[in-house]
Structure 1
Amino acid sequence: MRGLRRPCRRGAEATLTLSPQGLVWSAPGLQVEVGPGGWQVLETGELLAFLVGRRCIPLPRDALPAPPEEVLTRLRQWSGGRWRRCPAAPCPALWRQWEEGWSRRFPPGETPPWRAAQLRPYGRVFLWAALVLGGGQLCYYAAVVGERGCRYLWSWLAPLLNGLTLLAALGAALCLARRSRLGRALLAAFFGALLGVNAVCAAADALTTHRLIAPSPDFRQVAVLRRNTASGRMIFYRSVGGVFIRPETSLQGWLEGGEVKLRWLRDDVCAVSYRGEDRQPHAAVFLFGGREGRPLLERLEGRWQSDSGKFHLTYERGGFQLRRGGGVETYSIASCKKIDRTAVALFDDKGVPHWIVLPQTPADTGEGRADALLLYQVALDETEPVALSPRP
């Protein structure tokens, strides 16, 4: 069955030849030959659509030779049962799209752009990874850093997640633009520049800030000291769950470049010893978790003595008296500092801390006299705590 002609793109004509041996579609610069059973037909009221692989060859009914009903019967026989009917409503729109050049012809082996833009399975993995990581980082910078001032526990975690987000986005973009070499090159250059900026920011943060991380003895809490070399500030951070830390306070009177020591006095009490601007050792004590009961200062009345007998601590309403090594040190109650309900720092008249007193166990928060005390000396050298027991 020859002579089935219809207008082609740019005013040219194409010829469709059908026979029991197969189908031949001839157009300027293109010829498609298909054997029996290699094509199927969608029939509507006004149009016959011949589907050959990825190509759709529409043919109006008025282009069929006379008599059209006999021709349709022969075509159904040659199709080998690969003949389907569909509603007639969408077919005029399909015909108009074809006439306007919406359906393009592609040489054998070329992928249409709407198929090239579809993501492969690994492309979908890249896309979902970029969306999840990017959404998490946006929430981190907007809610965690912006509103609460929290940060990641490790300084390298934020640039690492940023880099993984950019790499996942690059992988998804390359899957979409896999048909265009220029597009892939531009995408690689763009994301490479973003990765370079991320690396430069990470290096600048590593050079301008230094962190001292100390987990608690029971590994439930983490204390962090973050020093900014540009501003000269030393800020204490406490863990707030997971990999986040929250700023607590900045060390007052810290001598820039001076010594700093971070140590845990107990599972829930952390002390920072540092050299102040007056060249004297200073200390700051931080409590992790609240305590109930009477303040410690109200439970220290009486005498306390170490097991070796070298330390004797006496507390009266007027202040503290510490005897050690044959000397006597007196600290007035006005110069002492209560740290929540858990500890007491002993300062001299010049405002320099010398000792920190706290219960020996976190559970010792009753209403009566404390069971045992720990006495820490404020020093930049490593010192052992002194255990004190009550004496009548």
Structure 2
Amino acid sequence: MIRTKTAKGEDGMDHDKTGRYIAACRKKKKMTQKDLADRLGVLCLGVQIWYILNRDGYQIEYMARWMFFVVNGAALLFLMAGGLCMKKLRPFFLKPAVVLGAVLLFAGNGAAGFLTDDGQREILSFSPGLPSDCMVLKIQEDNGSARLYRQAAGPFVRQAETFPFTVAGEVKPQWLEKDVCAVTYESEEDGGVHQYVATYGDRSDGTAYYYVSNAIAGTWVGEGGYMLDVRNGQMELETPRGVETYEYDACMQYGTLSLVFPKNGPEWTLVLNADCILEGGENTVEDGGTLTLCRVSMKKTTPVVLERIMDGDI
């Protein structure tokens, strides 16, 4: 136990002599708040300088264009706050010319963010999981060309894939699992509905590529009259609308987590859920794993969870 020296005051009560220590702590706290504002301002400014000098070399850009202007504004605000917290510099930062200059810079930065246009439509969709993945899609307004971006570090992303069809109108992102986002859109090229599935995870140790069609061999059932039978190079899907058959070779696999069943266009999207596990050397998911099945449509769709009731030969 640590004892502190005390002294009696005029009132006869013992007074803790740590008062000066407490005052010093409070002073240190105030200094820390000032230092924090300064450091945040320098950090934001440094990030912007680094980004401008290295964006071409690293082929990176902000997730969204507005983030560049937000960081500019944050750097200015933090630097001003840090200056106002310093007694020696406070008179300088309170000068009308300095205040007016800061206001003009802040307003000009905001105006630049609102008035300038790079000709792109940006769509960000965050995963419901933590840590969160983010689907970043940027569409050229003049020709409909769409590019999917992958996270590089922090708020920066790098271009990954270009959609095979141009995008017209609205885009429907739908997270079918915490690391799988189905992006459904329409294209003027053929007037049809298309889908691209962005995957951000894996169900094995991540060292080997595997085929989803092999991993899900067997019979799977879900509520509402859904059943999927996967064997002998075919997928037979029974739904309340009837029975549909798809060949392995005709299906489109995305990453190692998703399979899309096509006819004239994409019909169904199938996803390996997070409870699916493929141990090293195994071809099929372990018992207990489930799948998510969802119809491809621009309208609102409700996914169906499938559970395996029988293993099958592939």
Query: TM class by shorter-chain length?
Result: 0.5 to 0.7
Q: Which residue matches 1:385?
A: 303
Are 2:198 and 1:318 equivalent residues in the alignment? Answer: no
**Aligned-pair CA distance for 1:205:** 4.8
The one-letter code matched in structure 1 to 2:70 is L
Deviations 1:193-233 (A, max 9, x none): 76565334311356844433222121321222333434533
Deviations 1:319-339 (A, max 9, x none): 322222352322222221122
Deviations 1:43-62 (A, max 9, x none): xxxxxxxxxxxxxxxxxxxx
The one-letter code matched in structure 2 to 1:391 is M
Contact persistence 1:262–1:270 (CA under 8 A): yes
Considering Cα pairs closer than 8 Å and 6+ residues apart, tell me whether 1 or 2 has the greater RCO: 2
Are 2:147 and 1:235 equivalent residues in the alignment? Answer: yes
Of the candidates 58, 62, 74, which is equivalent to residue 148 of structure 1? 58
Deviations 1:60-112 (A, max 9, x none): xxxxxxxxxxxxxxxxxxxxxxxxxxxxxxxxxxxxxxxxxxxxxxxxxxxxx
Closer, same or farther in 2 for the Cα pair 1:127/1:340, shift >3 Å?
Answer: closer
**Aligned-pair CA distance for 1:128:** 7.5
Closer, same or farther in 2 for the Cα pair 1:283/1:126, shift >3 Å?
Answer: closer
Q: Which residue matches 2:267?
A: 354
Contact persistence 1:360–1:387 (CA under 8 A): no
Question: Larger radius of gyration, structure 1 or 2?
Answer: 1
Q: Which residue matches 2:28?
A: none
Percent of pairs with identical residues: 24
The one-letter code matched in structure 2 to 1:321 is E
**Aligned-pair CA distance for 1:283:** 0.9
The one-letter code matched in structure 2 to 1:380 is M
Closer, same or farther in 2 for the Cα pair 1:125/1:274, shift >3 Å?
Answer: closer
SS at match of 1:279: coil
Are 2:197 and 1:282 equivalent residues in the alignment? Answer: no
- The 2-side partners of 1:130 and 1:266 are apart by 38
| TM-score normalised by structure 1 residue count | 0.55
The one-letter code matched in structure 1 to 2:58 is R
SS at match of 1:303: strand
Deviations 1:263-318 (A, max 9, x none): 1111111111111232222111121134436432212333333244x223222343
Are 2:219 and 1:303 equivalent residues in the alignment? Answer: yes
Q: Which residue matches 2:183?
A: 272
SS at match of 1:298: helix
- The 1-side partners of 2:305 and 2:36 are apart by 59
Q: Which residue matches 1:110?
A: none
Runs of 4+ in 1 over 6 A off after TM superposition: 124-130, 167-172, 187-193
| TM-score normalised by structure 2 residue count | 0.67
- The 1-side partners of 2:78 and 2:218 are apart by 66
- The 2-side partners of 1:224 and 1:210 are apart by 11
**Aligned-pair CA distance for 1:341:** 2.3
- The 2-side partners of 1:279 and 1:382 are apart by 19
- The 2-side partners of 1:211 and 1:271 are apart by 16
SS at match of 1:161: helix
- The 1-side partners of 2:284 and 2:42 are apart by 58
Are 2:48 and 1:137 equivalent residues in the alignment? Answer: yes
Are 2:181 and 1:249 equivalent residues in the alignment? Answer: no
SS at match of 1:341: coil
Q: Which residue matches 1:374?
A: 292
Q: Describe how 1:321-332 pairs up with structure 2 within 5 A.
A: 321-325=236-240, 327-332=242-247
**Aligned-pair CA distance for 1:135:** 2.5
Deviations 1:125-173 (A, max 9, x none): 9997765543321112222x3233333345433213324545778998x
Closer, same or farther in 2 for the Cα pair 1:136/1:318, shift >3 Å?
Answer: closer
Q: Which residue matches 2:122?
A: 211
Deviations 1:328-378 (A, max 9, x none): 322222221122222211122x4x111122223344224253343221211
Gap regions ≥5 residues in structure 1: 1-123
Q: Which residue matches 1:334?
A: 249
SS at match of 1:219: coil
SS at match of 1:159: helix
Contact persistence 2:253–2:259 (CA under 8 A): yes
